[in-house]
Amino acid sequence: AKQFSGMYAALMTGMDDAGEFSPDRQRNIDAYVLRQGLAGLYVGGSSGESGLLGTDELMAQQAVVAESAKGHDARLIAHVGVPSLRDSVALARRAEALGYHALSALPPHAYPFSDEEVLAYYRALSAATALPLIVYEVPIRTGRPFGLDTLVQLLEMPGVGGIKFTSTDLFKFSMLRRRCPDSLFYFGFDEVYITGAALGADGGIGTTYNILGRLYVALDAAMRAGDLAHAQELQDLSQRFVEALLEIGVLPGMKAAFRAIGVECGPTRAPLTPKIADAEARMKAVLDQPEFKR
C-alpha cells in the first residue's frame, strides 16, 4: 500500500450558480489541482461537500474527475462514506469500475453507532471491491474518537490499506503507527501537517492542498529531507491561509479563494454559507502577499 504515499487534495466540488453540481466547473477545479504536482486526488470527501450531495451526484462527479485525470500521473481515491452501507457499496463499485485506485470512507456517522457496527460497516465495504480501503479517524465529524484497539482492529482488517488520521491526538497517532508499521498513514490537518510528518505520516490529505498543492508537496519533501527550517516556513504560510479561511468558513473560504485566482467553481451548497460578505477580497488579499506568489 505504500505506493499510495504522498500528498492528496481533498477535492472541492464545482456547482453552478443555483448550487447544482456542475461538470464544467468541476473540470475547472480539476485542471487547476492536477497542475500542482500532488500524488493524487481524494474525491467526494467532506471537502467535496459530500455530506450535502446525493449518491447520483457523487457518481457523476466520480466520472467527471476520472475523465479529467486521464493522461495525468495522479492516483484517485474515492471517498464513499455516506449514511447507509448500501449507498456506500454502490459508490465503491462505481469507483472501481471507473478505474479509481483506492477507496476511503468516513465511519458511519448518521447515528451514534457502536464500535461493532462501525467494524461491520468497514468489513462489508472492504469486501465489496478489490480496492484498498482507507479508514478514517475524524472525531470533529463523528463526535467521538475511536479507541486505540478499535483503530488497530480496523487497520488489521483484510483489504484495509491505511488510515486518514484527522485528529490532534498525536500520541495516539504515534502508538498506532508503531502497532501498524505496514499501514499507510495520511495526516488530515493541513495547518499542522508538519507534526504528522515528524511522527511518521506517509502523506497527507487536505482541503487547502486544492489551492496550495505545490506548497504542501514542498513541505512534505522538506520534512523527508530533514530541512526543518524550510518546512516551518511553509507551514507558517499554510497557517496564515487557514487562519483567513476560518474567518469565512473553510469550504466557502476555499471557493472564494478559487474565484480570487480565476478558477470559477460556484458557491457552496446551502446551508454552507460564507460568514463574511467580502470573502473573495479577503482571500485575494492573503494570496496577493509576495510569499504566496508561486
- Where on the chain is the footprint of ligand NAY (CB under 6 A)? 10, 42, 45-47, 138, 140-141, 166, 188-191, 205-208, 242, 250
Query: Shortest distance, CB of residue 188 to ligand NAY, whole angstroms?
Result: 4
How far is the C-alpha of 17 from the C-alpha of 11, rounded, in Å? Answer: 19
Query: How far, CA to CA in Å, does 279 sit from each of 11, 99, 183, 220, 253?
Result: 20, 37, 39, 29, 6
> Which CB, 178 or 188, lies closer to ligand NAY?
188
Closest to ligand NAY by CB, 116 or 246: 246
Query: Cβ of 192: how many Cβ atoms within 10 Å?
Result: 17
For ligand NAY, the nearest residue by Cβ is 45
> Smallest distance from the beta carbon of 43 to ligand NAY, in angstroms?
9
Over the range 93-116, which residues count as b (16 or more CB within 10 Å of their CB) and which as e?
A: ebbbebebbbbbbbbbbeeeeeee
Contacts of 219 by beta carbon, 8 Å cutoff, 6+ apart: 193, 194, 197, 231, 234, 235, 238
- Residue number, 149 or 240, with CB nearest to ligand NAY: 240
CB of 100 to ligand NAY, least distance (A): 15
H or E segment and range at residue 137: strand 133-137
Q: Whose Cβ is closer to ligand NAY: residue 216's or residue 218's?
A: 216
What residues contact 113, with CB distance under 8 A and at least 6 apart? 107, 121
- Using the minimum distance from each CB to ligand NAY, give the nearer residue, 101 or 141: 141
Give the nearest distance from C-beta 235 to ligand NAY in angstroms.
12
Q: How many residues does the chain have?
A: 294
d(CA 253, CA 281): 10
Kindly name the residue from 121, 164, 209, 216 that is annotated as catalytic.
Answer: 164
Active site residue 136: yes
Which grid coordinates belong to 200? 511518521
Which of the residues 8, 42, 136, 216 is marked catalytic? 136
Under DSSP, is residue 92 helix (H, G, I), strand (E, B) or coil?
Answer: helix
H-type helices in 45-147, by residue range? Answer: 55-69, 85-97, 115-127, 139-142
Tell me the closest approach of the beta carbon of residue 134 to ligand NAY, in angstroms: 10
Question: Which residues participate in catalysis according to the annotation?
Answer: 136, 164
